[in-house]
Structure 1
Amino acid sequence: MKTDIVIIGAGPVGIFTAFQAGMFDMKCHIIDVLDQAGGQCTALYPEKPIYDIPGYPVITAQKLIEQLMEQASPFKPIYHLSQKVEKISNNCDQSFIIITNTGTEVKCKAVIVAAGNGMFEPNRPPLNGILEYENKSVFYSVNKISDFQDKTIVIAGGGDSAADWTVELSKVAKKIYVIHRRKEFRCTPETRNKLESLESDGKIELVVPYQLHELAGGNGQLSTVIVKNIASKEEKEISADFLLPFFGLSMNLGPINNWGIQLEHSRIVVDPATLKTSRDRIYAIGDIAIYSGKLKLILSGFAESAMACHDIYKVIHNSPVNFQYSTSKGIHGKEKLP
């Protein structure tokens, strides 16, 4: 298979890059280790609202991915899902051969790494027997808010994910207990105010300073979460239908470590003007890229995508970009507004 650009990572920034490349008449293949496009947006929080996408006062992560895929669809990007890029080999004609763990080979003229935080898995609390309950009554992400309708939930953690999901699930849950080892939560002041308001209304109970201690139940169905006070060691039993531990993600760059690219703090070092890496014709954008002043926002990743595609066009064609605004150029197969 041959193409202009191979995009490694099918998260929001990777998908948007297929659109950007298409605007320059460059074809793309997108490779991702997950079994569906969307990255963390679809794998971990498809129903979580996102508030900082221009033009959308609020949009769910799943809907954002659907819209991005529709936007890119006129350019017919080819997706290779459930595949991991194992090797990036140079050819004598300045092209690359991309080889995945399933044996797929794609020849391309440039590579854009949009791998987010790399391969990830949730940090699991050290509780005996927790594996019995996982994916039945213990979950590390929320796929369908409706699954928690009128249920009693224990949410463990003190960061943004724990706080945000407490606020969202309080709209459907019967009761939520929030377990945190400290009285202070690492979330925005606005979210903290919402937690206090929900606690005053009796919708949630902040159980602090406590930590998870033990689980009880049977056949994968949780019945009780036992927590222990950090200071007094007092134990408390909480009847619950679900436990949602939000202790962050463990990140692993995996094969990226072997691609001959300069790394810093588990990120790929790039030129902020072009998003070039230390390896010719390989670019990195989104959360995986690092440079001075970097902002880890989806919005920033979209801008980096445009910058990388501009530079790739110049490199591939050895000529400057004949720049046109999308309002002037239009998209093949899409009618312009009257």
Structure 2
Amino acid sequence: MTQPTAPIETDALVIGAGPVGLFAVFELGLLELRAQLVDTLPQVGGQCTELYADKPIYDVPGIPVTTGRALVDQLMRQAAPFAPGLHLGQLLATLQREADGRWRATTDHGTSFLARVVFIAAGAGAFVPRSITLDGLDRHLGSQAAYQLDDAASVAGRQVVILGDEDAALEQAIALAEAASQGPARVTLVHRRDAFRADEATVARFQALRAQGALHFVAGQPSALLEDAAGRLLALDLATPEGGSVRLPLDALLIRMGLSPRLGPISHWGLQLERKQLVVETAGFQTQAPGIFAVGDIITYPGKRKLLLCGFHEATLAAFAAAAHVRPGQPVHLQYTTTSPRLHQLLGVASPPR
């Protein structure tokens, strides 16, 4: 039996690695609070990179136009001096208060934390992959079926069927078809109709490879999985739009049908909810639980607007309130990054001459 690992002790545990969570790490760092960051997605960015990674964003102050991906890259650079611990691809499953007032949290991967304060910046909730109802699918998840492919070399030269019509599905098909150096897989994309919701440039690349015969497309709805006597996945049956059926042999099935936000374990932590959003006060964006703050799209209060700039404002005020909670009785001074030598030291930049 393996021994449980010791919890990671930190000033702040930030739940959600979207733009608001990343900016919260920065603001906490300026106030000299160390942070650990947890997200269910395997990369930072949250909704920004999942829903509009390459689409234009026009309402970030001082930046006439950017993209979700570019904004997240900049926020990561901004938070880099504070070296937050990143724990990606993990769902925060439990949260409970300890006798000393700290919060003990554990992920579904067994990572545990002891935090003085908790920041919930989970957007619309934890993003989980959209699945499909097929008898026997659960038996193959983690072996021949998956929601994400981490190693393209593992399917080199094999028959891969991909379900989906969004950017993630088409980009996966393109990547596998173009992986000639590793031996390209035989890739077939499946969707109910021959039309896609992906970015125009991605669709154009997919159609070009399709025209070359480098990958394939079949319109249909998955209806059944075929297994051999040993229980190994052999094929996927489809019901076609014309009322017929098609059987696709496969070695691997990738389900890339997008992500769906769910409130998940947050709903079981005893925090006040209103229409699946956390209720906070607006002086420091604290929930009714002392030491648990919430910012961004996950919260509600009179006048709330779901805008990035509002989330950044909320994260700033919550960081100051968190500093007061962590260091009770000590003043929390407002310093400016333009002039403060201490902030320049924290950021690793040179102070201008006086």
Fold in common (TM above 0.5): yes
Deviations 1:152-199 (Å, cap 9, x if unpaired)? 321112233323323333322433222111333222333333332232
173, 184, 189: which one pairs with 1:178? 189
1:10, distance to aligned residue in structure 2 (A): 6.0
Contact 2:95 2:105 (C-alpha < 8 Å) held by counterparts: yes
List runs of 5+ in structure 1 lacking aligned partners.
33-37
Equivalent residue for 1:84? 93
The secondary structure found in structure 2 opposite 1:161 is helix
1:4, distance to aligned residue in structure 2 (A): 8.1
Paired letter, 1:241: D
71, 91, 103: which one pairs with 1:98? 103
Paired letter, 1:321: L
223, 246, 252: which one pairs with 1:242? 252
Give the 3 Å change call, closer, same or farther, for CA 129–182 of structure 1 in structure 2: same
235, 238, 243: which one pairs with 1:227? 238
Equivalent residue for 2:3? none
1:294 aligns with 2:306: yes
1:123, distance to aligned residue in structure 2 (A): 3.7
1:163 aligns with 2:170: yes
2:165 and 2:91 mapped to 1: Cα distance? 32
1:265, distance to aligned residue in structure 2 (A): 5.0
The secondary structure found in structure 1 opposite 2:239 is strand
Give the 3 Å change call, closer, same or farther, for CA 177–187 of structure 1 in structure 2: same
Deviations 1:69-105 (Å, cap 9, x if unpaired)? 96433xx76989886333358x9xxx95424468978
Equivalent residue for 2:295? 285
1:148 and 1:65 mapped to 2: Cα distance? 34
Deviations 1:260-312 (Å, cap 9, x if unpaired)? 545455343568996555666643235644685425x8x99777645542554
1:242, distance to aligned residue in structure 2 (A): 1.5
Question: How many pairs are equivalent?
Answer: 319
Contact 2:17 2:37 (C-alpha < 8 Å) held by counterparts: no
1:11 aligns with 2:17: yes
Equivalent residue for 1:35? none
Equivalent residue for 2:41? 40
The residue correspondences of 1:45-56 to structure 2 (distance < 5 A) are none
TM-score normalized with structure 1 length? 0.68
1:211, distance to aligned residue in structure 2 (A): 0.8
2:173 and 2:311 mapped to 1: Cα distance? 28
2:13 and 2:115 mapped to 1: Cα distance? 12
180, 197, 203: which one pairs with 2:208? 197
Contact 2:17 2:121 (C-alpha < 8 Å) held by counterparts: yes
Contact 1:226 1:238 (C-alpha < 8 Å) held by counterparts: yes
Give the 3 Å change call, closer, same or farther, for CA 40–71 of structure 1 in structure 2: farther
Contact 1:155 1:176 (C-alpha < 8 Å) held by counterparts: yes
1:151 and 1:103 mapped to 2: Cα distance? 35
Aligned-residue identity in percent: 21
Equivalent residue for 2:60? none
1:213 aligns with 2:223: yes
Deviations 1:119-170 (Å, cap 9, x if unpaired)? 5543432222223322222111122233333333211122333233233333
1:40, distance to aligned residue in structure 2 (A): 0.2
TM-score normalized with structure 2 length? 0.66
Give the 3 Å change call, closer, same or farther, for CA 69–106 of structure 1 in structure 2: same
List runs of 5+ in structure 2 lacking aligned partners.
1-6, 58-62
Give the 3 Å change call, closer, same or farther, for CA 164–235 of structure 1 in structure 2: same
Contact 2:222 2:239 (C-alpha < 8 Å) held by counterparts: yes
1:105 and 1:117 mapped to 2: Cα distance? 23
Contact 2:37 2:85 (C-alpha < 8 Å) held by counterparts: no
Paired letter, 2:94: V
1:330 aligns with 2:320: no
Equivalent residue for 1:114? 121
Equivalent residue for 2:4? none
RMSD: 5.0
2:210 and 2:282 mapped to 1: Cα distance? 45
The secondary structure found in structure 2 opposite 1:127 is coil
Give the 3 Å change call, closer, same or farther, for CA 121–2 of structure 1 in structure 2: closer
The secondary structure found in structure 1 opposite 2:173 is helix
The residue correspondences of 1:138-157 to structure 2 (distance < 5 A) are 138-157=145-164
Contact 1:157 1:247 (C-alpha < 8 Å) held by counterparts: yes
